[in-house]
């Protein structure tokens, strides 16, 4: 079966490495990109929530995207985060992503202002009409305060061919069945939670937009490949192996733990911009114990 847009099975929602003065650390970013390509990422998402976009300026986002695109050099796909709780800003960001050469955009359900289902439909319709790029919708009720219903997703997918996928960060797995049942066959679902990747794939999800793939990409790739080749028990074993890490990477607000894990592996520094704060030493010991055991 063909799908509207295939960014691969593992899209890493990439962190933004910082220097001690909290400027973007471009040498670390280059190391990170190459590490992700070498460990199974099929695409990277630049300027998503994991990249600390609430604290990045639009100029920083554009400069970072340009750098990432240059370093990737066609080896994998590069997706741009282009969401906002203002429809006009989201449209402008989407047009800018097109100008920068994004392969696709990820755009989140408007947060804080809690739109109705009709408001969400109008918001994403405006974006879809404004830009000729594959669009991945991002439904994350825990951060936005509202849940985009499967019927709304299906209506958008029916009307706009460039709305290609949804990143579903909702633990209610019945919603995956509803989305698969209501949406066109070529519309795809990505898990937005690492720990739900395998359960969601059992219901028809294509893959994951991941945080854990920063540090465990190869094992996650093995799990997905095992499942898709019918080695269900092997996929379950790999899921159970990874599960403690999936949980620990959210022991504090994302991306604080994954940045600590990447620093532990010598890839970047752990610095985050306020209001986020780094893990304390006790938390680091807990995280590193699990990380070292999994790896």
Question: Could you give all domains of the chain from N- to C-terminal order, each with its CATH number?
Answer: 10-231 (3.20.20.70)
pLDDT tens across 72-89, in order?
999 999 999 999 999 999
Q: What is the mean pLDDT of the chain?
A: 97
For the question of residue 190 being annotated catalytic, the response is no
pLDDT of residue 169: 97
- Would you place residue 4 in the very low, low, confident or very high pLDDT band (cuts 50, 70, 90)? confident
Percent of the chain with pLDDT strictly greater than 70? 99
Helix-then-strand count for the chain, H and E? 12, 8
Given the residues 167, 221, 248, 284, select the one marked as catalytic.
167
Whole-model pTM over 0.95 = yes
Give per-residue pLDDT as tens, 206-227.
Answer: 999 999 999 999 999 999 999 9
Catalytic: 167?
yes
Structure tokens at 229: 């080749």
State how far the Cα of 198 lies from the Cα of 256, in Å rounded to an integer: 24
Structure tokens at 184: 């066109």
Identify the helix (H) or strand (E) that includes residue 13: strand 10-13
Q: Is the pLDDT of residue 197 over 90?
A: yes
Confidence of residue 2 (pLDDT cuts 50, 70, 90): low
Instruction: Please state whether the peptide bond connecting residue 91 to the residue before it is cis, i.e. omega within 30 degrees of 0.
Output: no
Cα(64)–Cα(132) distance, integer angstroms: 22
Q: How confident is the model at residue 3 (pLDDT cuts 50, 70, 90)?
A: low
The torsion defined by the Cα of 290, 218, 102 and 13, in degrees rounded to 10, comes to -10
Candidates 5, 111, 121, 138; catalytic one: 138
Burial of 43 (0-12, 13-18, 19+ CB in 10 A): buried
């Amino acid at each position: 079966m063909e799908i509207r847009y295939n960014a691969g099975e593992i899209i890493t929602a990439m962190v933004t490495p910082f220097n001690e003065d909290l400027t973007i650390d471009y040498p670390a970013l280059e190391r990170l990109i190459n590490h992700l390509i070498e460990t199974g990422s099929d695409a990277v998402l630049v300027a998503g929530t994991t990249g600390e976009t609430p604290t990045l300026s639009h100029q920083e986002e554009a400069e970072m995207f340009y750098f990432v695109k240059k370093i990737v050099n066609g080896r994998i796909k590069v997706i741009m985060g282009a969401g906002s709780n203002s429809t006009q800003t989201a449209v402008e960001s989407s047009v800018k992503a097109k100008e920068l050469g994004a392969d696709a955009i990820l755009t989140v359900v408007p947060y804080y202002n809690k739109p109705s289902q009709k408001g969400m439909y109008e918001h994403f319709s405006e974006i879809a009409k404004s830009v000729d790029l594959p669009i991945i919708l991002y439904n994350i009720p825990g951060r936005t305060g509202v849940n985009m219903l499967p019927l709304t997703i299906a209506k958008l997918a029916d009307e706009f061919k460039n709305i290609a996928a949804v990143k579903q960060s909702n633990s209610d797995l019945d919603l995956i069945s509803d989305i698969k049942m209501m949406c066109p066959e070529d519309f795809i679902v990505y898990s937005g939670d690492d720990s739900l990747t395998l359960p969601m794939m059992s219901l028809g999800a294509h893959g994951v937009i991941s945080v854990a793939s920063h540090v465990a990409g190869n094992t996650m790739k093995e799990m997905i490949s095992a499942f898709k080749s019918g080695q269900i028990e092997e996929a379950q074993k790999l899921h159970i192996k990874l599960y403690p890490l999936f949980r620990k990477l959210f022991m504090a607000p994302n991306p604080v733990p994954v940045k600590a894990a990447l620093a532990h592996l010598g890839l970047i520094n752990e610095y985050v911009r306020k209001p986020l704060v780094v893990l304390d030493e006790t938390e680091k010991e807990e995280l590193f114990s699990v990380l070292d055991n999994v790896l």
